[in-house]
Structures are given as structure tokens and as C-alpha cells.
Amino acid sequence: MTNSPSIEITDAAKNSHSENQTSWRDYFGFNTDHKVIGIQYLVTAFIFFLIAGLLAMLIRGELLTPELNLVDRPFYNSLFTMHGTIMIFLWIIPSLSGLANYLVPLMIGARDMAFPRLNAIAFWIVPPAGLFLLSSFFLPGGSAQSGWWSYPPLSIQNSSGHLLNGQLFWIVTIILLGISSIMTAVNFVTTIVWMRAPGMTFFRMPIFVWTVLSAQLLQLFFLPSLTGGLILLLFDLTLGTSIFRPFQGGNPILYQHMFWFYSHPTVYVWALPAFGIFSEILPAFSRNPLFGYRSVAIASFGIAIVSAFVWVHHMFASGTPGWMRMLFMFTTMLVAVPTGVKVLAWTATLWKSKLHLETPMLFALGGVVMFLFAGITGVMLGAVPFDLHVNNTHFIVGHFHYIVYNTITMALFGAIYFWFPKITGRMYAEGWGKLHFWLTLIGANLTFFPMFPLGLQGMVRRISSYDPEYTQWNAIASLGAFLLGISILPFIANIIGSWLMGTTASNNPWRATGLEWTTTSPPPRENFAEIPTVTFPPYSYGQPQAWSVDSQE
Ligand code: HEM
Ligand SMILES: [Cu+2]
């Protein structure tokens, strides 16, 4: 018994490959296998992560001491703009697309994504777009310098002329990456709705699949707002229109709405899959079913829906009228409800169980605890009076790095260790993994915690020199950042070394319950010898064989 849409896939697969083995050459070409594309995304994104990380080291190097001594001011502006842009659009988003690409078809019992060629096209937009953005460093006048939001009028005013070449490159890059992301979103939503194996009802899907579905629906609905805003910005920049130009009757606040209407929901495009990762790893390493599975699944949609109505909390200080501030303060606080459901479910899953503290579990536990800091400071920022006090200070930078590094990047590392045996057929080295975890946890807190007191004391963000009173906390943050830089080395050594010569992994080394663990490690070209029929709910630890396929272990 197979479901009908998989016929198209089998065709696509036949065109590109007939045998089951993937060779290293496949990774450098146009390949339609979702697993190859998943790895292409992950490796590409990781390279951009290293580049943006180097830019962060330069930023923290400059901020090590109060004086301006490493770079000049325009280049500092380039640094934080490119760091933020690359980290978001070329690390977080593509790495999560890569992970979801690899896992979702396996988890729902499909042979590939719904549109394999579209999938490959979407990927192949990313590396050239990223290189195009990087090349803007070498333009006369350098890269874009107006921050990752590119607010007008700063991003379009023609004071030096040069500034704008970099800005042009920036806008074109983000439009291209947006087109790629829309293709990806169409593909995931179609795949999850139509390609599930027999018996894989919505409420038997692993939570990771739920979170990908809700995140990709957000992409589909809200990304057009950013792309539209950027096209209008491009008009103002190149054609001399005045849509956002305040002195010629344009409205710069309109851009802020178009930007944040997407860019708040996008925070959940990153965070939801991270929650999905926690929801896979915590049950596997406590050998417990996920507590409150249905509530967690529904909460993913709850978070997605509420997150669509909070964007004005980024504009509390933009002359927003009082009633609107109150309204969006309320909706912002509301996000804590479905999020709280998840945190409670994770805690209850761990309750009174024996924890197996291998590297993926350490990263998941660390990520959940760090998320508490991120979430609590987020609710604090949702309160208008508090936000107005710390607006545009390092408190904000601290808050969102607890999300993007300490929660999401930690979750991604946990996911890579967790599924490494499945992806490569080999085990990683546990000792190196643990070293990576502890260096990350210590480094990340040393780097980002000092930003809270600094912000409360009034140190604004996006400045390259500061008053001597801020020296101590900044020195700690910079040393922490260098430690964080070092923490990546054991990771790289482990991944490359283990991939080449790690011990062979069994099909299900963690005794986890997802469908992906029932096939071989690595899985064959079309994932399953025979499409499985699902008869059990997910996370059925302590139950008999959950799937009606032969267990190969
Ligand atoms: C490698 C560790 C990292 C360090 C040491 C670091 C450090 C910093 C610092 C110091 C700033 C503030 C610059 C300023 O305001 O003058 C900053 C800004 C920023 N970072 Fe990071 N960061 C790291 C990782 C990340 C990650 C993983 C993301 C993921 C999305 C990210 C996204 C951003 C964004 C969006 C900005 C704002 C840029 C702007 O103001 O336009 N960072 N980072
Ligand atoms: Cu927001």
C-alpha cells in the first residue's frame, strides 16, 4: 500500500539515480534527493556561520576596550550589519531548512519531498546569493551599514553615494533568499499534508514535523510582506520614488510595519523547529513518551498564530499611539501561554526518569534552560515601560542572542549529534561532543549575560566605542566570545573525524521511536525498502514494536 503522490517522486528519482549509493560528487551538483539537499544546506549554512562568527569576533575585539582601536566607524557598521544578516538569512534559516529537508520525509514515511526539483532549485539559490552579499565588502564604500533591518531613511539617503551600492546588494540578496524560502515553504507544506505514509495521521506525526509545518506556514503567509517592502525600498533607492522618504511625503514607518510583520513571525520560523528538536531528544534520552503530546502539537500552531499579532512590540518607540502599544503589549504576553505549555511538557517528560546524558541530551537540556532566560527577558521587553527604558541598548542584544545562540544554535548542535549516526552511519566521539557542549555553555553565558547589566546601565547597541564605566562587563563578554569561537573547534574536528573514521552506527543507536530509526543508517536512496504502515502513536516507549515494518536492528 502506497499513497498516490509518491508516484511523481519515484519518477524524479529514476531520472537522477538508479542505484542506492550516494557518492561525494552528488553533493556538488544538482541532486533531487532530499537527504543530499539536506546535507548541502547544512554544510553551506555552517560555512556562513563560521564567516558571520568571524565578523562577531571582530565586533567583540573592537568592544574589548572602550576606545576605537581596531576598525573605523563605517566598517564597524558593516560588521554588525553583515554579522546579523548572515547569521539570520544564511545560518539559522538554511540550517533549519536543511535539517527539516533531511528528516521530514523520513519521519512521515515518504520517499522524498513533494517537489524534488523545486527543492534543489531553492537550495541552489542560496550559495550564489550568499557569495553575492559577501562580495559587497569589496565595493567602494563597503557593504550595507544600516543594520539587519535596513530602516529608511538611513538605508536610502544619498549622503555619500557609496553607502548605497552595498545597500543595493543587500536588498537584492534578501529578495533572492526570500524567493528560495517561499519555494521551500510550498514544498514542506505540500509534503507534510499529502505525503504521509498510511496510518500516519496528523496526531501521529512527531512534534518536529508539527513544528516544521507551523513554521513553514508562517513563511508562506508572512514572507511576502518583507519581500514586498524590500521591492518598494529598492524603488526608493534606485528609481527615486518617495514611498518611504519622509521629506518628500513618504512614510518610513510603513517600512517598519512591512519589515516586522514578517520579521517577528520569522523568529518563530527559527524557534519552532528548535522546540521540535527538544521534543524529539528529551523523550529519547529519558526513555519516556513525550508528556501531553497533543497539547504540544497544538501549542505549536498556537505559538504560530499568536506570533502573527505581536509585531508592533518592535515599534514601541516609533511614535506608536498609546492604545496600539497596550494592545500589542497584551498579545505579546499571550505568547507565554502556548510556550509555557511546551516548557511544562518537557519538564514533565523528564520528571522522575533516569536521564541518559549523552551529548544530544546535554545540548537539549542546556537549550531548554537557556530558553528560560530568553523567554523571561522577552516577557520583560513586552512590557511597554520596560521596553522604552532599554530600547536600543545591549539588553536587546542580550535577549535575542539567548534565543538565537543559547537556544536555537544549541538545539541545532544537539540535533546534529542526535541524527549524526543516522545521516552518516557512524558514531561521533562522545568526549569531544561533551567538551564542545561545556565550552559552548560557558562561552555563551559569558558572552551574552553581561549584555543585560550593560543595557540596564544604558549602553546602546551598534556603537564601536563607549564610556569607560562599561569596560568590565564588555571585557568579560569579549573573552567569552573568544571562548565561544574556540568551542567550535572540537565540533569541527569531531564531525569531520567521525564521518571519516568513526565506529559504525546501528540503525537505532538511541533506541528512539521515530520512523527514521527503522531504516538503515544512512537510509537508502528512497528511504524505505517498503513504505511502512503506522499503527502506533509517536513516542511509544515501553510499547511493542511501533511500526509494522521489520526492525532491522
Ligand atoms: C558567534 C557568537 C556571536 C557573538 C559573539 C555575537 C555578538 C554580537 C554582538 C556583540 C552584536 C552587537 C553589535 C552592536 O550592536 O554593535 C551582535 C548583533 C547581532 N547578532 Fe550576534 N553574535 C553571535 C551569534 C549570533 C547568531 C547565532 C545570530 C543568529 C541569528 C546573531 C544575530 C545577530 C543580529 C541579528 C544582530 C543585530 C545586528 C544589528 O544590530 O543590525 N548573532 N552580535
Ligand atoms: Cu518580535
- Of all protein residues, the one whose alpha carbon is nearest to atom 14 of ligand 1 is 462
Domains by residue range for the chain, with CATH:
11-518 (1.20.210.10)
User: How confident is the model over 395-413, as pLDDT tens digits?
Assistant: 999 999 999 999 999 999 9
Our mutation pick for probing the ligand 1 site, out of 83, 148, 266, 479, counting the most ligand atoms within 8 A of Cβ, is 83
- Of all protein residues, the one whose alpha carbon is nearest to atom 34 of ligand 1 is 84
**Distance between Cα 81 and ligand 2 center (Å):** 18
**Distance between Cα 68 and ligand 2 center (Å):** 32
Identify the pLDDT of residue 5. Answer: 37
Largest Cα–Cα distance in the chain? 71
**Three cell numbers at 550?**
521489520
**Distance between Cα 513 and ligand 1 center (Å):** 37
Instruction: Work out whether the CA dihedral 305, 306, 311, 314 comes out positive or negative.
Output: negative
Identify the pLDDT of residue 535. Answer: 87
Residue list, ligand 1 pocket, CB within 6 Å: 53, 56, 59-60, 80-81, 83-84, 87-88, 92, 147-148, 397, 401, 404-405, 409, 447, 461-462, 481, 484
Per-residue pLDDT of the chain (553 residues; tens, 9 = 90+): 334 333 334 444 444 444 557 788 889 989 999 999 999 999 999 999 999 999 999 999 999 999 999 999 999 999 999 999 999 999 999 999 999 999 999 999 999 999 999 999 999 999 999 999 999 999 988 999 999 999 999 999 766 655 688 999 999 999 999 999 999 999 999 999 999 999 999 999 999 999 999 999 999 999 999 999 999 999 999 998 999 998 889 999 999 999 999 999 999 999 999 999 999 999 999 999 999 999 999 999 999 999 999 999 999 999 999 999 999 999 999 999 999 999 999 999 999 889 999 999 999 999 999 999 999 999 999 999 999 999 999 999 999 999 999 999 999 999 999 999 999 999 999 999 999 999 999 999 999 999 999 999 999 999 999 999 999 999 999 999 999 999 999 999 999 999 999 999 999 999 999 999 999 999 999 999 999 999 888 888 765 444 444 444 3
Among the listed residues 171, 131, 125, the one whose alpha carbon sits nearest the alpha carbon of residue 148? 171
The phi and psi torsions of 534 (rounded to 5 degrees) equal -95, 130
Identify the pLDDT of residue 160. Answer: 60
Cis peptide before 338 (omega within 30 of 0): no
Identify the pLDDT of residue 25. Answer: 86
> What is each CA distance from 189 to 88, 100, 251, 299, 517, in whole angstroms?
22, 12, 35, 18, 23
Give, rounded to a whole angstrom, the gap between the first and last alpha carbons of the chain: 24
Nearest atom, ligand 1, residue 79 CA: 13
Taking the C-alpha atoms of residue 351 and residue 291, their distance in angstroms, rounded to an integer, is: 10
DSSP 174-230: HHHHHHHHHHHHHHHHHHHHH-PPTT--GGGS-HHHHHHHHHHHHHHHHHHHHHHHH
User: How confident is the model over 280-316, as pLDDT tens digits?
Assistant: 999 999 999 999 999 999 999 999 999 999 999 999 9
